[in-house]
Amino acid sequence: MYARVIVDIQASQVDRVFDYAIPPAYEGRVLPGTRVSVPFGSRRGVEGFVVALTEETQVPLSRIRPLNRLLDPEPVLLPAMLDLAYWVRDTYHCLLVDALRLMLPAEMRGGRVREKTETWISLGDLPAWEEVEGLLARSPALLRALRLLREEGGTLPLPKLRQVSPLSAGQLDKLTARGWVRLEEVSCRRRPYTRIVGEESGPPPATHDQERAVAAVCQAIDRGRGAFLLHGVTGSGKTEVYMRCAQHALDEGKGVLILVPEIALTPQMVARFTGRFGSRAAVLHSRLSAGERYDEWRRIRRGEAQVVIGARSAVFAPLAEPGLIVVDEEHENSYRSEHTPRYDAVEVARRRADSEGAVLLAGSATPSVARYHEALAGRYTLLTMPWRIGGRPMPPVAVVDMREELLHGNRSMFSGRLVSELHRCLQAGEQAILFMNRRGYASFVSCRACGYVVKCQDCDLSMTYHKHGERLICHYCGREQPAPQVCPACGSRAIKQFGGGTERIQEEVLRHFPEVRVLRMDADTTRGKEGHLPILEAFGRGEAQVLVGTQMVAKGLDFPRVTLVGVVAADMSLYSSDYRAAERTFDLIAQVAGRAGRSERPGTVVVQTYAPEHPSIQAAARHDYEGFYQGEIQGRELAQLPPFANFYRLMLQHERPETADGDLEELSRRLDALLQEHPQWQKRILLRQGGTAPVERIRGVSRRQILIKAAAIPLMAEAEAALAALAREPLPGNSVIWLEVNPVNML
Ligand code: ADP
Ligand code: ZN
Ligand code: ZN
């Protein structure tokens, strides 16, 4: 037998299997999915994955080398995951090794984390106790240690024993030499989220809508196939549906994977699941320490945890026999990876469900337009929950025209309506959430005399003013510099801040209501390991009346005392050049609005905008997803936008702009040649542009692109693969190049 190995080296020249002989000592223990160390070229030990075993090899026997050793006692990759890795490679045009790397905690590679162990001390063969006392009469420390061990049932962690009786290494040796005690390394687990233990409350009786949805999904779980799109308004009780379906899968002896967007993976959210499923649940999260992540991963791999809750990358959790895969808030962009491999976790979940006999349950209050379109076409079974729990009404939404406010001389960030609603809310002892899609104090700094805008030196983007520390920060690369007092271009003192951010809103609230406590939640205030936790807990305990924040406050939060939600600048997402701008605006307003009035107290939403007549804003104010969808899908069909067409973007970057330009020309020539060979593809191309990317420079690197829009028809899968191959060909100037398909971010 020979092992076919993919070496863990990220280079396309070596992205193929290499055969190795299996030394007799490892006979029978090398299985597909095992990690091994192999000699490779002149290197003595390189990590690799066994992807298959074979009895025959093309390599001449004289040249075949034995593998060095196994890296783990058992295969780390399940057969289904190996299969998935090949699918990821083919679907997202990456190296197999890139796909395989997704399947393991990064820390495992290179042996950077190991199992954490602790030394335990246990009693061995002891003579009669009187005899021990006699023998140790002159060693009170030893005697005390043995007595403690006896009292504690014969075994203790060594550090604990040493706290009571500080034994030296020599004294320990004496005891072990006599066989009176044994020392053992015991593996111990780093358990994250030990601080939050969800309460073990029984599930509430399901509503009719919930029952209907649960029944449909559970039947599918029993059949072992199905894909559902659960469209339920905010507060309709989708989470309860997930949990009931999960319980059913567990009862059937199957595993459950629950994906939530990174920012929604709050302690609140986790506690709801750990409260229901206790120690059967594992959490995978980027904020975990390397050790914690590794331990949770192993608990899943060993079958000790059958419910996995995690963000995007958890779709690759080593769960055997999944029966249900839930994707909450399926419309969220964070399910799309923006680095190689550029995978879409919802698509991966779909593929896993289909090939491993599981059911996919994707849920959202504002389904992505593309997915809803698929559901209507029959690719997903649509389930709807149009009512909030307890018959609570959706909160009324007041759309405030900020142009009117300006006309009436109100230049502040708050409309009269928002201030009066805040007043009412605070008087009643209730809480408010104010949403703004940008952190910092002002969105940009510009000179009134000459029009100069302060941009980042390394990026082609304006810098954001942060009042805290009087600094300008580039939100792309993180560059910071002091805010200028005079215009760097013309020397005028008329250099001013424009636009607003969360910092400024916080200040504005305090200007109107000096007595009120305001918390702010954005990337600036959630840096630490605990992240959102302290802020959310404080708000939940009622230590502040107002919470100001970015997208982080828009999603999933469930605070019963919140009765007012203010969207301070609703159109900020409307004017981006992205074709999904309208979808994002609808989604944001609908989601933020969903935070209000979630308990007996009714809620109100105030949406401030300069475009009150915009269809997205109008539909969101009516809580009318259907209406929004119908208008949007018609518009997309007319304009030939996804899902009726696809965007392909060949991105290219280089430190030197001239080199980037030269390489872009060469790439364009190669594309011409490719299309000449395939006239049938040429015919499908609706648009082709080449030149600088919308953001010309990021972190000092010049960016160029070729943007192609092509009709979405099956034939294009082949064309897509050809474009991906083009993106792997080195260019004369060695620019970095990659392919994006319908990118989340078109900048
Ligand atoms: P969604 O995820 O759809 O926005 P949630 O799952 O957060 O909604 O549910 C909203 C609230 O309703 C939560 O506080 C939840 O505990 C509660 N809830 C859910 N289902 C029921 C039910 N069947 N009976 C009573 N309360 C419920
Ligand atoms: Zn100036
Ligand atoms: Zn920058």
SS3 for 92-113 is HCCCHHHHHHHCCCHHHHHHCC
Q: How far apart are CA 260 and CA 329, in angstroms?
A: 7
- Over the stretch 119-155, which tens digit does the pLDDT of each residue have? 788 888 888 888 888 888 888 888 888 888 888 778 8
pLDDT score of 290: 80
pLDDT score of 108: 77
The CA 363 to ligand 1 mean position distance, Å, reads 14
pLDDT score of 173: 82
pLDDT at 382 over 60: yes
- Pick the range with the lowest mean pLDDT from 287-291, 421-425, 507-511: 287-291
Distance of CA 538 to the CA centre of its chain: 24
The CA 107 to ligand 3 mean position distance, Å, reads 29
The CA 248 to ligand 1 mean position distance, Å, reads 19
Percent of the chain with pLDDT over 90: 57
Beta-carbon contacts of 407 under 8 Å, excluding residues fewer than 6 positions away, are none
Domain boundaries, the chain: 2-111, 117-187, 195-391, 397-440+500-637, 645-741
Return the CATH number of 645-741, one of 3.40.50.970, 3.30.70.1440, 3.30.479.20, 3.40.640.10.
3.30.70.1440
Categorize the per-residue pLDDT at 326 as very low, low, confident or very high, splitting at 50, 70 and 90: very high
pLDDT score of 336: 94
Q: Average of pLDDT values for 281-291?
A: 83
The CA 544 to ligand 3 mean position distance, Å, reads 34
- Over the stretch 560-587, which tens digit does the pLDDT of each residue have? 899 999 999 888 766 666 788 899 999 9
pLDDT score of 191: 55
pLDDT score of 111: 64
pLDDT score of 82: 95
From the alpha carbon of 210, which atom of ligand 1 is closest? 23
pLDDT score of 645: 93
Cβ atoms of 115 and 299 closer than 8 Å: no
Residue 341: asked if its preceding bond is cis (omega within 30°), the reply is yes
Cβ atoms of 122 and 181 closer than 8 Å: yes
DSSP class of 632: H
Angle, CA 340 vertex, CA 339 and CA 344 arms, to 5°: 75
Atom 14 in ligand 1: residue holding the nearest Cα: 558
The CA 242 to ligand 3 mean position distance, Å, reads 41
Q: How far apart are CA 22 and CA 652, in angstroms?
A: 43
Q: Is the CB of 206 under 6 A from ligand 1?
A: yes
Which is nearest to 355 in space by CA: 322, 316, 315? 322
Which listed ligand is nearest to 489 at the C-alpha? 2
Q: Average of pLDDT values for 485-510?
A: 91
Which listed ligand is nearest to 491 at the C-alpha? 2
The CA 451 to ligand 2 mean position distance, Å, reads 6
Distance of CA 354 to the CA centre of its chain: 22
The CA 463 to ligand 3 mean position distance, Å, reads 8
Cβ atoms of 14 and 27 closer than 8 Å: no
- Pick the range with the lowest mean pLDDT from 65-69, 81-85, 323-327: 65-69
Q: Between the CA of residue 713 and those of 51, 93, 679, 719, what are the distances in Å?
A: 33, 19, 15, 11
Is the pLDDT higher at 631 or at 522?
631
Which is nearest to 505 in space by CA: 414, 595, 572? 414
From the alpha carbon of 236, which atom of ligand 1 is closest? 3
Mode of pairing for the β-strands spanning 645-654 and 562-567: unpaired
Categorize the per-residue pLDDT at 287 as very low, low, confident or very high, splitting at 50, 70 and 90: confident
Q: Burial, 709: exposed, middle or buried (Cβ in 10 Å; 0-12, 13-18, 19+)?
A: buried
pLDDT score of 197: 46
Which listed ligand is nearest to 452 at the C-alpha? 2
Superfamily of chain region 2-111: PriA, 3(prime) DNA-binding domain (3.40.1440.60)
List the shell of residues around ion ligand 2, using CB closer than 5 Å: 447, 449-450, 452, 487, 489-490, 492
Atom 24 in ligand 1: residue holding the nearest Cα: 204
From the alpha carbon of 233, which atom of ligand 1 is closest? 3
Which listed ligand is nearest to 385 at the C-alpha? 1
Q: How far apart are CA 513 and CA 557, in angstroms?
A: 24
> What would be the CATH architecture of the domain defined by 397-440+500-637?
3-Layer(aba) Sandwich (3.40)
Beta-carbon contacts of 531 under 8 Å, excluding residues fewer than 6 positions away, are 287
Which DSSP string do the residues of 555-579 spell out, in sequence order?
Answer: SS---TTEEEEEES-GGGGTTSSST
Q: How far apart are CA 670 and CA 559, in angstroms?
A: 56
- Site to probe by mutation for ligand 1, drawn from 234, 240, 269 as the one with most ligand atoms within 8 Å of Cβ, is 240
- 3-class SS at 694? strand
- 3-class SS at 6? strand
Which listed ligand is nearest to 273 at the C-alpha? 1
Q: Is the CB of 207 under 6 A from ligand 1?
A: yes
Q: Is the CB of 204 under 6 A from ligand 1?
A: yes
Buried b (16+ CB within 10 A) or exposed e, 531-560: bbbebbeebbeeebbbbbbbbbbbbbbbbe
The CA 210 to ligand 1 mean position distance, Å, reads 10
Mode of pairing for the β-strands spanning 227-232 and 359-364: parallel
Q: How far apart are CA 47 and CA 51, in angstroms?
A: 13
pLDDT score of 114: 62
Q: How far apart are CA 442 and CA 472, in angstroms?
A: 9
The CA 699 to ligand 3 mean position distance, Å, reads 5
Which listed ligand is nearest to 239 at the C-alpha? 1
Atom 25 in ligand 1: residue holding the nearest Cα: 204
Tokens of 458: 């390394």
Locate the DSSP E strands across 390-529.
Answer: 397-401, 431-435, 444-447, 464-466, 471-473, 480-482, 495-498, 518-521
pLDDT score of 130: 86
Q: How far apart are CA 345 and CA 311, in angstroms?
A: 9
pLDDT score of 143: 87
**Residues linked to residue 281 through DSSP beta bridges, in sequence order:** 307
pLDDT score of 444: 86
pLDDT at 305 over 50: yes
The CA 464 to ligand 3 mean position distance, Å, reads 10
Q: Is the CB of 558 under 6 A from ligand 1?
A: yes
Q: Average of pLDDT values for 411-438?
A: 94
Beta-carbon contacts of 35 under 8 Å, excluding residues fewer than 6 positions away, are 47, 48, 49, 50, 70, 71, 72, 76
- Pick the range with the lowest mean pLDDT from 99-108, 169-178, 415-424, 727-736: 169-178
Q: How far apart are CA 731 and CA 507, in angstroms?
A: 51
**Residues linked to residue 258 through DSSP beta bridges, in sequence order:** 309, 326
Q: How far apart are CA 515 and CA 417, in angstroms?
A: 20
Biggest CA pair distance of the chain: 98
Which is nearest to 261 in space by CA: 744, 747, 746? 744
pLDDT score of 189: 60
Which is nearest to 705 in space by CA: 695, 692, 717? 692
Q: Average of pLDDT values for 63-89?
A: 91
Cβ atoms of 500 and 436 closer than 8 Å: yes
Distance of CA 215 to the CA centre of its chain: 29
Does 645-741 match 2-111 at the fold level? no
pLDDT averaged over every residue in the chain: 89
Q: Average of pLDDT values for 392-419?
A: 92
Superfamily of chain region 195-391: P-loop containing nucleotide triphosphate hydrolases (3.40.50.300)
- Over the stretch 181-218, which tens digit does the pLDDT of each residue have? 887 766 666 555 544 444 556 788 999 999 999 999 99
Residue type, 210: Q
